[in-house]
Amino acid sequence: MTRPESSLIRARRLASRIRNEPRHMPTPCSNCSRRDDDCLVNLSSGRCSACNDRNVKCDLIVSQPEWDRLDRDKAKLRRQLERAEEDALEARSRALRLRRELAKVDSKEKEMFDREMASIREVQALEEEEACSWGQETRTPQPAASDVGSSSFSGFEWNVLYSPYSLDASLEQAFTGSSDSTSQLAPNCSLSS
């Protein structure tokens, strides 16, 4: 039994046959173009002699399976692009919705801040009013020297009794928030004598 010929020998024989009946292609296959060879083709096989000689795939004539594969790849890429565009649209919509929600929260924060500031001002006004009325209630007229004997009240500090600033230090700080100067210690009210 004779041994079958190798594929290489058969490919070279086919290349030789193609060269015997050359058909020059105006546009060479990629292999011939890369090597700057003449692209001689056998019209029945669709392969050139150089590709047959090297036993490599010749892309001179595009087969139907190659067209089908190209169509599948193109359709797949289009689907991926559509999905990516849909995802991008959803992401933009989500970002827009989040911006609107953030604007609402910012508006609510401003409203709460304004309410809190109004409440603080109201409490401060009440505290000042309370301090003024407390100062007026505790203020008593100074007794005349003829009414009371000076010996009975010797050593008594009258200025503590009459001073609207004689409040306890903790109360003074509650009214003003600071104890730096005398003008800050006094509540903002006019005492009637």
Instruction: Say if residue 47 is in the same domain as residue 75.
Output: no
Q: State which amino acid sits at residue 88.
A: A
Q: Is the domain of 52 the same as that of 70?
A: no
Answer whether residue 136 is part of any domain: yes
Residue 78 has pLDDT above 50, yes or no: yes
Tokens representing 62 are 């595009």
Any domain includes 89: yes
Is 169 among the domain residues?
yes
Give yes or no: residues 51 and 71 share one domain: no
Q: Are residues 85 and 163 in the same domain?
A: yes
User: Does residue 77 lie within any of the structural domains?
Assistant: yes
Provide the number of structural domains found in the chain.
2
Confidence class for position 183, pLDDT limits 50, 70, 90: very low
Question: 87 and 115 share a domain?
Answer: yes
Asked if residue 112 is part of any domain, the answer here is yes
Asked if pLDDT for residue 50 goes beyond 80, the answer is yes
**Type of residue numbered 82:** E
Q: In whole angstroms, give the CA distance from residue 177 to residue 171.
A: 9
Taking the C-alpha atoms of residue 116 and residue 118, their distance in angstroms, rounded to an integer, is 5
Same domain assignment for residues 127 and 71: yes
Same domain as 87, residue 20: no
pLDDT score of 22: 62
Classify the C-alpha dihedral 71-73-78-79 as positive or negative. positive
Question: For residue 2, is it within any domain?
Answer: no
Residue 117 sits in which domain range? 66-140+157-180
pLDDT bin (cut points 50, 70, 90) of residue 48 is confident
The answer on 108 and 28 residing in a single domain is no
Mode of pairing for the β-strands spanning 47-48 and 41-42: antiparallel
Distance CA 132, CA 114 (A): 27
Q: pLDDT at residue 1 above 90?
A: no
| Mean pLDDT of the residues in the chain | 75
Shared domain check, 103 and 18:
no
Q: Tell whether 166 and 111 lie within a shared domain.
A: yes
| 3-state SS string for 127-159 | HHHHHHHHHHHHCCCCCCCCCCCCCCCCCCCHH
24 is a domain residue: yes
